[in-house]
Amino acid sequence: MAGHGRVALIDGTVCRGGEMRLEHLNSLVSPVTGLRLCLQSVQSREHGEVKEGTLVDESGDHQVQIHDFIPRFITDPSYTGSFGEQWNRYRSIQIDSENKLNLSSDRFYRWTGWKKDELAGQQILEAGCGAGRFTQVMLDAGANVFALDMSSAVDACWRTNGPNANLSLVQADIYRIPHPGEFFDRIFCYGVLQHTPDPQRAFMSLIKFLRPGGRIAIDCYLKSRRPSRWSAKYIWRPITTRFSSQMLFKAVEWYIPKWLPIDTRLASVPVIGKWLISIVPCWNYTGLLPLGREEIVSWAILDTFDALASKYDQPQSLDEVTSWFEQAGLSDIHVELGSNGIIGNATKPLKRATDAQLGGNTSGRVEKSISATRHRSAAI
C-alpha cells in the first residue's frame, strides 16, 4: 500500500491510500471483520486532513464514515452520552495550555511513572480521551497518540489537539478497538474503566493491543465505605441518573455556585465536618488545587455533573484490580492508592511465563503499595 497508494478491493472498487496520513490509515482495522481499512472516498478536506469521507475494509463489506475529521466506528454513544455533553460543554477548563497550570501533566507523569523523554516516537493508545487533557500531554512529549472515546467527547478532543500529525483520533468502543493486535508501545486509560458495564472486561480488552515489552497505566475509583465528599454521589445517583443530561446540568449549574461557600464552611467543622459534606454532592477543590474562585466553581460543576450523570460508576478494591493484572499475565505490577482512587502500572512480558515456570507463584511479581494518598475525583 505504501508503494502504490492504491488498494484494489475484492469487489473491484478502489480506495486511495494517499489521501490520509498513511501511518494512521495503516493503524486501522475493522472491528467487525478484522481486515485492514483504507480510504474509499473523500467528500471534503481541511487542514490537509479528510473532514468527510468513507473508509472501507479490504473485503468491501464494512464501511466507516469519517465525520468532522474523525472515523466514527459507532453511531450511538450508548451509555457514554453524558460524557460527550460535559466535555463539549466544559472542554477547556482542565487543559494545561488553556488554564496555564500543569495539573494534567503533573498527574500523568507522577502516577504513570513514565518519563517525558522516553515517550518521543512511541505509539500510545489512549482509551477514553475525553476533551484531550492527557492527549495533549503525550503529544507535547512527541508521542504518536492513538486516542479513542465512545462519546462525542472526541469532538472536544479534536478542538483541543487537532489537527496534529502525531494524533489519530477515532470514535469507538473500548470493547471493539479498531487497531491491530500488539500494535502499541504503551496503553494509557485514566478515568474510564469504572464507567464501563464491565470494568474487568474493559481492562482485558486492552491487553491484546499492547506489544510484548509494552507498558500499561490505568486508574479507577476506589471502593470505600468511609464517608467523604466523594461518596455523597452514591446517595443521589439512583435519582440523578434518571435525569436527562440537559436537566441535570441545569440543576448542577444552579446549585453549585450557591452551595460551594456553605460546603467550604462545613468542611472546616471539627470531627463531624466529613459527615456533613458527604450529604450534598459538591466536588469542592478549595484548598486542594491552585484554582481561582471562578475555576473552583467551573471544576465543581463539571465534576459534580460527572459524578451524578454517568450510567455506570463501579469502584474497585485494590485486590480486585491486582487480580486483573495477574490474570492478564502482566509483570512488574504496581497497584496502589493514588490519583483517581487506585492506579495500576505494569509491563507485558516479552515471553509470557507459565505458573509452573514461576514455581506456581505469580503473586511474587506483584507490588501493592497502600499509600496515604487522598482519594479524589477523576478531575484532579
- For 147-182, the pLDDT digits (tens) are 999 999 999 999 999 999 999 999 999 999 999 999
Question: Does residue 23 register a pLDDT over 90?
Answer: no
**pLDDT (average), residues 102-111:** 97
The per-residue b/e assignment along 152-168, b for 16 or more CB within 10 angstroms, e otherwise, is: bbbbbbbbbbbebebbb
Q: Give me the domains of the chain, ranges plus CATH numbers.
A: 6-67 (no CATH), 78-223+315-369 (3.40.50.150), 229-309 (no CATH)
Inter-residue contact 283 to 162 (CB < 8 Å): no
pLDDT interval class at 339 (50, 70, 90): confident
Question: Does residue 115 register a pLDDT over 70?
Answer: yes
Integer CA distances (angstroms), 245 to 273, 307, 311, 379, in order: 30, 12, 11, 19
pLDDT interval class at 369 (50, 70, 90): very low
* pLDDT attached to residue 137: 98
Least confident span in 21-35, 121-135, 335-349, 357-371? 357-371
Question: DSSP secondary-structure letter at 221?
Answer: P
The CB density around residue 139, as the number of other CB atoms within 10 Å, is 21
Compute the mean pLDDT over every residue in the chain, rounded to the nearest whole number.
Answer: 88
Q: Which residues contact 198 (CB under 8 A, 6 or more apart)?
A: none
* pLDDT attached to residue 231: 86
* pLDDT attached to residue 361: 45
* pLDDT attached to residue 58: 92
pLDDT interval class at 253 (50, 70, 90): very high
pLDDT interval class at 21 (50, 70, 90): low
Q: Which amino acid is at 143?
A: A
**pLDDT (average), residues 77-99:** 95
Q: Rounded to two decimals, what is the model's pTM?
A: 0.88
- The span from the CA of 128 to the CA of 277, in Å, is 30
Question: Does residue 356 register a pLDDT over 50?
Answer: no
Task: Tell me the percentage of the chain whose pLDDT exceeds 70.
Answer: 86
pLDDT interval class at 353 (50, 70, 90): low
Question: Does residue 20 register a pLDDT over 60?
Answer: no
**pLDDT (average), residues 358-379:** 42
The pLDDT tens digits for 184-243 are 999 999 999 999 999 999 999 999 999 999 999 999 999 988 878 888 899 999 999 999
pLDDT interval class at 352 (50, 70, 90): low
- The span from the CA of 135 to the CA of 370, in Å, is 28
**pLDDT (average), residues 113-124:** 97
